[in-house]
Copies of this chain bind each other. A is one copy, B any other.
């Protein structure tokens, strides 16, 4: 049983963020003690860690909510639903990977052209490439 502050410290997020995630339905509501304090369990730690990971990967709150449903609320879902949702997300993820790889390739080729020497940036290929349509 963790309080909100303990949970925040444990996963390394802001204490208010937890309340926010609860408000928008990304984190399931914990039980409350007689004093009204939230009582967090293992489940909430895992949910929060998952959210943090997905956030870091640039997923929207909507997507995270769906992913949360797949991973956490799986009891309430049929296998067909799970498979459909997951397949859609795999597509989304593989597209993101492709986009990022393209981006990475572009940036690497740009820095390769740029020797980083201590000269004026007037003719820097990075800036020039961005000015080009």
A→B interface (CB under 8 Å): 46, 49-50, 53-54, 56-58, 67, 70-71, 74-75, 77-84, 86-87, 89-90, 93-94, 96-97, 99-101, 103-104, 106-108, 110-111, 114-122, 124, 126-127, 130-131, 133
Known A-B contacts A58-B96, A82-B127, A83-B126; the reply to A75 vs B107 at CB < 8 A is no
Inter-chain contacts of A124 with B (CB < 8 A): 74, 79, 82
Q: Is A103 touching B57 in the complex (CB atoms < 8 A)?
A: yes
Complex Cα gap A110–B54 (Å): 13
Closest to A46 in B: B131
Q: Is A121 touching B82 in the complex (CB atoms < 8 A)?
A: yes
Q: Is A93 touching B104 in the complex (CB atoms < 8 A)?
A: yes
Q: Is B118 touching A78 in the complex (CB atoms < 8 A)?
A: yes
Complex Cα gap A75–B7 (Å): 50
Complex Cα gap A94–B111 (Å): 15
Q: How far is the CB of A65 from chain B (nearest CB, A)?
A: 14
Q: List 18 A-B contacts (CB under 8 A).
A: A50-B133, A54-B130, A57-B99, A58-B103, A70-B121, A71-B127, A74-B127, A77-B121, A79-B116, A79-B118, A79-B119, A84-B116, A86-B110, A86-B114, A86-B126, A87-B111, A90-B108, A97-B100
